[in-house]
Structure 1
């Protein structure tokens, strides 16, 4: 009991000192709240991807920190995206390109972000989905809270194909796995910590299946649903390699044939708003804690998501919708309030950014660029196009104006985002863009590692 009161007194003292003298927080070592969200694309409020989306808590975080409007994943799939950003090793360097490739066997000596913070004196805790579920890394977590299963309907209402399903569930928020994960994070923030901490909290929604409580579906009546902008024959000027990735005769054909497009969009929106509510609970707990003044917040989605654009669903592609991610960073006393950056950044930049912000020794061999200069000046100079890789030898290079895709068979796509943000017109065969392609090609990876071994599980 005495220990309990001692902790409470320590927390209260820290709050009083922080309120009385903000410099108290600034002079202590930064903590890190690391928030990973699964399958969340740019439809949230700060990124403007869907008009009328309800994401008040992410909107509030965006006003607090810097929003990176042109942020991209290193790979449009959970496992390679997360493994690469957490180790600092690109997919093209490791050979981990897909969800069914365990990353630790080919990166035996890699030191992950949580491992590096542990080695540098931090108290480290993980909760929820940080690494891909099938390949969580026990070596990275001195303390870890696994993902509780969320309730599901008695049977799959749509078709149950690889979790490709959506429906309200007759449960409360408290019954959902993400709610329980947040409880674990809140408990951690309410405790007294004698060392700086690195707290990673991972959310599963809006990953499929889109099963969330009815009240979130009610916020998006079917009559109000707006489908993504599309055109007929969008894949006509896309190389065979790109069409093969899109698989238009798979999910999209099913959606259209069964008149599920509006319902699927509704399910995705409902799942985003549910996730936003849980993120809000976590951020509110931080704000009320003794650590509000000296905790860095990194918020990101692991990759984008298609909902019918280019006749494609899910991630697993090199176009804008699959590779653009939500990315917001708040660094106390350093980041620009209400900051918005149009520079092309990548999730690979998280590792070097955090080590610099926390004044840790720079981690050697990390493939990324610290965005600390952009936190100070979001419009500052930046000469780093963003690279996304999907499978062996398939890469996209994104500059502020163009997206250039080169597949492993040499075929190409090029889109001018100033005039064609939906990527409807492939300019790759137009001779007048040869110099543009040549310049963007300079950022392609210099090596393509062979495919890492695969296993049966971990496909989705």
Structure 2
């Protein structure tokens, strides 16, 4: 590793999963694919939660949602614990200038995050008004970052969080993608390959084709940012991290603990340090990003961090790496109460639901979408079981639940034991019963009749 602390550039998309060419999807993403060719790509990187704020909180703290406190959406009155530190604060403590560009979606109080410079405009979390989020379109965020590089002197290393609104669905009433018809270049349904975990229907492919327009916008923005790094002459001294917070906004993906819901892209490029052009199939969680960054800047990981560094896996100059045997995922609150915990190993996925809900939970934007209507109106949604078990070798799409099959009972019991043990060790509130909403104290204070 170099003696100098690298600049850290964290680029993150929204509701993107691994829907990229470099992950084998039939979509043209040349700039992100080139980044993967120049760096390290993680084929089995998973989010700690299949939803925005809790997953982003886990990414930025290195701690799972029920540990850091962000168990629901930031604009739903959920917050990190008061004493919780996030990545830019750790880096600021060791001499970094910290910058926020675009979406963050961890809190409504940006000052809470401790950035030295905030370059965003308008709200910093998704809402229903397209006008509010004009500044956070990928193209606009990339332009602001490019201007920052042109104007800046680099007396100290910088950390920059660059977040795009895309690919979040915009129109709440019908779940459509895109701000206007002319901004994104959608693919037609006839040219889109169907998702492997959903039925092949024209309506779903039409929906997916619209999302492709947002993916292209992300790819273009990444190209603008990487070109700006090169023009500034600092790409050799910058660790670039590209990721997203959970799976795409489709049924059985966003809002679910199936792989399609918790899968997330993760690419790291650090020329001369990270081995270029390699792909890793190790199990990795997004809580591992923070300790990895601290490893690359030469800092010890604080006590109490749930994640572990993967720097020793991808860089010869860093020693020490422990292979993960399992990752955990969770969901508690989104636009409704949906308490689920899950454990995934190399071969198996065990999902434990703590509430009686439909088999496929559809967040509001997915529910209203063309894909959501196809699933709930054409196929129907059966009631969810409290336990699910999938043999990922035989059923990689998690479409064959073997939880009641006799030959899997030992596996079911062992994974259940490990899951409950983890919940107990991490003081998961769910073990004590239903978790109230983030605004529970506000609701209790409302005037009401005693009758």
State the TM-score, normalized to the length of structure 1.
Answer: 0.75
Which residue matches 2:195?
228
Which residue matches 1:385?
326
Q: Does 1:319 align with 2:255?
A: no
Aligned-partner Cα distance in 2 for 1:397–1:270: 33
Task: Evaluate the alpha carbon distance shift between residue 164 and residue 31 of structure 1 in structure 2; reply closer, same or farther with a 3 A threshold.
Answer: closer
Q: Which runs of 5+ in 1 are unaligned?
A: 1-22, 151-161, 233-254
Moved >4 Å (runs of 4+): 147-150, 162-165, 212-219
State the number of aligned residues.
382
Post-superposition offset of 1:212: 5.7
Aligned-partner Cα distance in 2 for 1:421–1:305: 17
Post-superposition offset of 1:360: 1.8
Among 181, 190, 211, the residue aligned to 2:141: 181
Task: Evaluate the alpha carbon distance shift between residue 130 and residue 429 of structure 1 in structure 2; reply closer, same or farther with a 3 A threshold.
Answer: same
Post-superposition offset of 1:297: 1.0
Q: Does 1:404 align with 2:350?
A: yes
Q: Secondary structure at the match of 1:404?
A: strand
Among 162, 168, 185, the residue aligned to 1:207: 168
Aligned-partner Cα distance in 1 for 2:56–2:109: 10
Aligned-partner Cα distance in 1 for 2:129–2:387: 30
Which residue matches 1:354?
293
- Work out whether residues 72 and 78 of structure 2, in 8 Å CA contact, stay in contact via their aligned partners in 1: no
Post-superposition offset of 1:101: 4.5
- Work out whether residues 39 and 270 of structure 2, in 8 Å CA contact, stay in contact via their aligned partners in 1: yes
Task: Evaluate the alpha carbon distance shift between residue 267 and residue 179 of structure 1 in structure 2; reply closer, same or farther with a 3 A threshold.
Answer: same
Which residue matches 2:423?
445
Which runs of structure 2 are paired with 1:249-398 in the superposition (5 Å)? 260-308=203-251, 312=252, 315-376=254-315, 382-391=323-332, 394-398=340-344
Task: Evaluate the alpha carbon distance shift between residue 176 and residue 360 of structure 1 in structure 2; reply closer, same or farther with a 3 A threshold.
Answer: closer
State the TM-score, normalized to the length of structure 2.
Answer: 0.76
Aligned-partner Cα distance in 2 for 1:289–1:327: 24
Q: Secondary structure at the match of 1:406?
A: strand
Which residue matches 1:454?
438
Which residue matches 1:30?
6
- Work out whether residues 60 and 290 of structure 2, in 8 Å CA contact, stay in contact via their aligned partners in 1: yes
Q: Which runs of 5+ in 2 are unaligned?
A: 171-176, 333-337, 356-384, 441-451
Q: Secondary structure at the match of 2:239?
A: strand
Aligned-partner Cα distance in 2 for 1:287–1:176: 23
Post-superposition offset of 1:215: 7.0
Deviates more, 1:175-184 or 1:273-282: 175-184
Task: Evaluate the alpha carbon distance shift between residue 230 and residue 367 of structure 1 in structure 2; reply closer, same or farther with a 3 A threshold.
Answer: closer
- Work out whether residues 216 and 274 of structure 1, in 8 Å CA contact, stay in contact via their aligned partners in 2: no
Q: Residues 33-55 of structure 1: CA distance to partner in whole angstroms, max 9, x if unpaired?
A: 0111111022211112x32x011
Which residue matches 1:432?
407
Root-mean-square deviation over aligned CA pairs: 3.1
Which residue matches 2:388?
413
Post-superposition offset of 1:60: 0.6
Deviates more, 1:332-341 or 1:62-71: 332-341
By relative contact order (CA 8 Å, sep 6+), the higher-ranking structure is 1
Aligned-partner Cα distance in 2 for 1:135–1:406: 33
Aligned-partner Cα distance in 2 for 1:65–1:348: 20
Q: Does 1:197 align with 2:158?
A: yes
Post-superposition offset of 1:194: 0.2
Task: Evaluate the alpha carbon distance shift between residue 366 and residue 420 of structure 1 in structure 2; reply closer, same or farther with a 3 A threshold.
Answer: same
Deviates more, 1:428-437 or 1:404-413: 404-413
Q: Residues 182-216 of structure 1: CA distance to partner in whole angstroms, max 9, x if unpaired?
A: 12211232322101111111011011122167577
Which residue matches 1:245?
none
Q: Residues 361-415 of structure 1: CA distance to partner in whole angstroms, max 9, x if unpaired?
A: 32221111111122138xx861341111011752111222222111226921111
Which residue matches 2:443?
none
